[in-house]
Amino acid sequence: MDALELLHQRRSMGKLAGPAPTAEQLDALYRAALRAPDHKEMTPYRFIEISGEGLDRLGELFAQSDYQANPHIDEGNLDAARKKP
């Protein structure tokens, strides 16, 4: 399968679930990402991995951000924001 065919057949996934990629799989993904075309040599210089308790903290940041944008937001939407990551 060539690259163009892969792009045409790709689909977005909803919320991902475990198991997470292994360290070896992540390393292969990072190496591939660093080789992808980067217009005007704007190569990414870092990747951020968030897992475990960090996902809970990220969800809380999402909820805080939503609340700051709309102090009248209902608790259901805040809970949804907490569950995003």
What's the confidence (pLDDT) of residue 54? 96
Alpha-carbon distance of 59 to 23, in angstroms, equals 24
Per-residue pLDDT tens digits for 30-73: 998 888 777 777 766 788 999 889 999 999 999 999 999 999 99
What's the confidence (pLDDT) of residue 47? 86
What's the confidence (pLDDT) of residue 63? 98
Exposure on the CB side of residue 39, measured as CA atoms within 13 A: 0
More confident residue, 17 or 49: 49
- Which residues, at least 6 apart from 81, have a Cβ–Cβ distance to it below 8 Å? 59, 62, 63, 65, 66
What's the confidence (pLDDT) of residue 44? 64
Contact, 55 vs 85, CB < 8 A?
Answer: yes
